[in-house]
A and B are shown apart, each in its own frame.
Chain A
Amino acid sequence: MTSVEDLCTLISGQITWGRGQSPQQLTPDTMLLEMGLLDSLAIMQIVTALNSQAGIVLPDTEIVAANFRSPAALWKLIESLPAGATQ
């Protein structure tokens, strides 16, 4: 996980695309919540995938809407985490 584009790919893989809904290309500014792309399961799957695929541990206190509104917002959080948070 070295860039916001990598993060977009990871998020895209966790979205359950609805029937008749074609998987869209996520950009850093895609409004994930406003567009209704993330449900509670997808959010927890992203948290899990960040840990298992990139060794990034999000503290519970950071799993809030403000950090998941777009890939860019989540990337900003990841970059701000103290070095010890990644393994």
Chain B
Amino acid sequence: MTRLDALLSTAAKLYPERPALAAEGRTWTYAELEQLVEELSWQLSAAGIRTGDRIGVYAGKGSSAVMAIYAGLRAGAVVAPMDVADPPARTARMVHNAGLSVLLTVDRSLGACREAAELATEGVDLGSGELDCGLNWVRTIAEADRPEALPAPTDQGGYILFTSGSTGWPKGVLLSHENVAHYALWAAEEFGLTERDRIGSQAALTFDLTTFDLYSAASAGACAVLMPDVLRAFPRDVVNWLNDNQITAFMAVPSLYHNMLLQGGFAESVPPTLRVAAFGGEAFAPRHLERYLELLGDVPFYNLYGPTETNACTYYRMPADWTAEQELTIGRGIGGVTIEVLDEDGRPTDGEGEIVVGGPTVFQGYLERGVLRDPTALVAFRDGSVQRAYFSGDIGRITADGLVYLRGRRDSQVKRRGHRIDLLDVESAVLELPGVATAAVVAKQGEHSGQFWAYVQTGSTEAEVLTALGAALPKRMLPDRVVVLPSLPTTTSGKVDRRALGGEFPAAPTTTSTEEIPV
């Protein structure tokens, strides 16, 4: 079993003088980072953190957060990166759900961290203290009330990434060292990473994309270059940042790629140092994807797919001559991972069905109210193996040679007047309209429950979009409403925020663009 913190100590032996981390205008070598992490892990032990404890790292993206994560892993803890932009009540809920004993935080977030801790402990001060590297610890569960140890292998530490549950409350996705390391090592090898690479890390540390940035980098002795959080909303800054920092490897969500193309001037300043790039997490608008393939030329561009529960579990290297008219596959399972598609009776099918994932990247379970719940089940795969597998909730099909085609979410299908409509089909039709930059078609909740609306980033009006759609789709598939927005809202991981769009969004109509269009 590979430990994530061992990737760092091994790199410190093999590449002591190579840059490991670049952030805030300075660089740390692997030898320096290893020494800081080792010292910090001793301080965590002195602060009462034991092997198997769960701890949160409550800090914005930066060198201190990375050091805190590594030190927590080194101390044997299960480490949960957290989002400082979350309201304190939500952070407190995460503390409860995941059973976090201690939060590590940076000086500038200490106030908000204490506020969240107070909510979690109902006002009781359970102690706090200072650490190296501008860090502090704040205890959130008394040592005597420490939750029961998690089952092996996470009794020896691991990783927690929070996802929004169906209720909107965060669920902790519990991953073992091996779950994360298997993917990180695979990606480093597939992308041919070496100690000369500079990996551009743009996503928040709470997002599973960044396990590549940190641990694939460490496994190859490459440098993780951290982009400041404030640049993420400015595509032009991101493009400049990639160029200024001589980034060679880059992974991001399609929303960011779209915006870099549309607003960021990517076409005029493709980073000359870039030698491998990847995307994942949501669908890439086909026309933009085709344009990227033209712009990137010989630079490999990968499509990665995988819910947080399984890390990235399929991959596809885009052919340079792929065009927007072609169907896009999410590829085949990464090394050691098996993908299966099951019909409604749970049997492997060549037709459409639910995508299930088996293998070393499949998570341990969800942490809810401090308790581990494992939703995986044993599945008989068509190769004859029986494996513990995760049901993704995604619908797709698999070809005889193992290529997987994603069809949509199980919950992206709605029924209207007896017809089953896949919202992604409607979305594809919207995306194909001239002048549409990006779009999302979502089922509405609450007041407009039963309807589905199209949110569109375009220069056209709602009426024009609807007329054009009417020429492309049967009437039953037309959205109940079209809303034109200057930009689609995104989640902290940078993906289009479909939950927000499906809710009461937009909360208060600010322009005439939300007027109802009769269908």
- In the complex, are the beta carbons of B230 and A44 less than 8 A apart? no
Nearest chain B CB to A4 CB, angstrom units: 21
- In the complex, are the beta carbons of A41 and B485 less than 8 A apart? yes
- Given A20-B87, A65-B234 in contact, is the A41-B487 Cβ separation under 8 Å? yes
Q: Which of A33, A45, A52, A60 contacts B236 (CB 8 A)?
A: A60
Residues of B21-75 at the interface with A, using a CB-CB cut-off of 8 Å, are none
The yes or no answer to B233 lying at the interface (CB within 8 A) is yes
- In the complex, are the beta carbons of B233 and A36 less than 8 A apart? no
**Could you say which residues of chain B place their CB within 8 Å of the CB of A83?**
none
- In the complex, are the beta carbons of B233 and A43 less than 8 A apart? yes
- In the complex, are the beta carbons of A60 and B87 less than 8 A apart? no
Residues of A15-35 at the interface with B, using a CB-CB cut-off of 8 Å, are 16, 18-21, 33-34
The yes or no answer to B471 lying at the interface (CB within 8 A) is no
Nearest chain B CB to A68 CB, angstrom units: 7
- In the complex, are the beta carbons of A63 and B263 less than 8 A apart? yes
Q: Which of A38, A41, A52, A65 contacts B489 (CB 8 A)?
A: A41
**Could you say which residues of chain B place their CB within 8 Å of the CB of A21?**
87
- In the complex, are the beta carbons of B85 and A44 less than 8 A apart? no
Residues of B484-519 at the interface with A, using a CB-CB cut-off of 8 Å, are 485-490, 507, 510-511
The yes or no answer to B259 lying at the interface (CB within 8 A) is yes
Residue of A40, A41, A64, A65 contacting most chain B CB atoms (<10 Å): A40
- Given A34-B230, A45-B486 in contact, is the A40-B87 Cβ separation under 8 Å? no
Nearest chain A CB to B255 CB, angstrom units: 8
Q: Which of A20, A34, A45, A64 contacts B234 (CB 8 A)?
A: A64
Q: CB-nearest residue of chain B relative to A43? A: B233
- Given A20-B89, A40-B487 in contact, is the A65-B510 Cβ separation under 8 Å? no
**Could you say which residues of chain B place their CB within 8 Å of the CB of A33?**
230, 233
The yes or no answer to B370 lying at the interface (CB within 8 A) is no
**Could you say which residues of chain A place their CB within 8 Å of the CB of B259?**
40
Nearest chain A CB to B457 CB, angstrom units: 8
- Given A63-B263, A64-B236 in contact, is the A44-B87 Cβ separation under 8 Å? no
Distance between Cα atoms of A16 and B265 in the complex (Å): 27
- Given A60-B236, A60-B263 in contact, is the A41-B85 Cβ separation under 8 Å? no
**Could you say which residues of chain B place their CB within 8 Å of the CB of A60?**
236, 263, 265
Residue of B259, B507, B510 contacting most chain A CB atoms (<10 Å): B510
The yes or no answer to A39 lying at the interface (CB within 8 A) is yes
The yes or no answer to A13 lying at the interface (CB within 8 A) is yes
Residues of B217-245 at the interface with A, using a CB-CB cut-off of 8 Å, are 230-234, 236-237, 240
Q: CB-nearest residue of chain B relative to A60? A: B263
Distance between Cα atoms of A52 and B259 in the complex (Å): 22
Residues of A37-79 at the interface with B, using a CB-CB cut-off of 8 Å, are 38-41, 43-45, 47-48, 52, 60-61, 63-65, 68-69
**Could you say which residues of chain B place their CB within 8 Å of the CB of A48?**
486
Distance between Cα atoms of A64 and B228 in the complex (Å): 13
**Could you say which residues of chain A place their CB within 8 Å of the CB of B236?**
60-61, 63-64
Distance between Cα atoms of A68 and B237 in the complex (Å): 12
Distance between Cα atoms of A33 and B492 in the complex (Å): 14
**Could you say which residues of chain A place their CB within 8 Å of the CB of B230?**
33-34, 65, 69
**Could you say which residues of chain A place their CB within 8 Å of the CB of B84?**
36
- In the complex, are the beta carbons of A39 and B490 less than 8 A apart? yes
Distance between Cα atoms of A39 and B440 in the complex (Å): 18
- In the complex, are the beta carbons of A43 and B234 less than 8 A apart? yes
Residues of B within 8 A of A (CB): 84-85, 87, 89, 230-234, 236-237, 240, 259, 263, 265, 485-490, 507, 510-511
Q: 5 closest A-B pairs (Cβ-Cβ)? A: A44-B487, A44-B486, A40-B233, A33-B230, A48-B486
Residues of A within 8 A of B (CB): 13-14, 16, 18-21, 33-34, 36, 38-41, 43-45, 47-48, 52, 60-61, 63-65, 68-69
What are 6 residue pairs bridging A and B, where the CB atoms are less than 8 Å apart in the complex? A40-B233, A40-B259, A45-B486, A63-B236, A65-B230, A68-B234
**Sample of 15 further A-B pairs with CB below 8 A, known A64-B234, A69-B230:** A14-B510, A20-B89, A21-B87, A33-B233, A40-B487, A41-B487, A41-B488, A41-B490, A43-B233, A43-B234, A43-B487, A44-B486, A63-B263, A64-B236, A64-B237
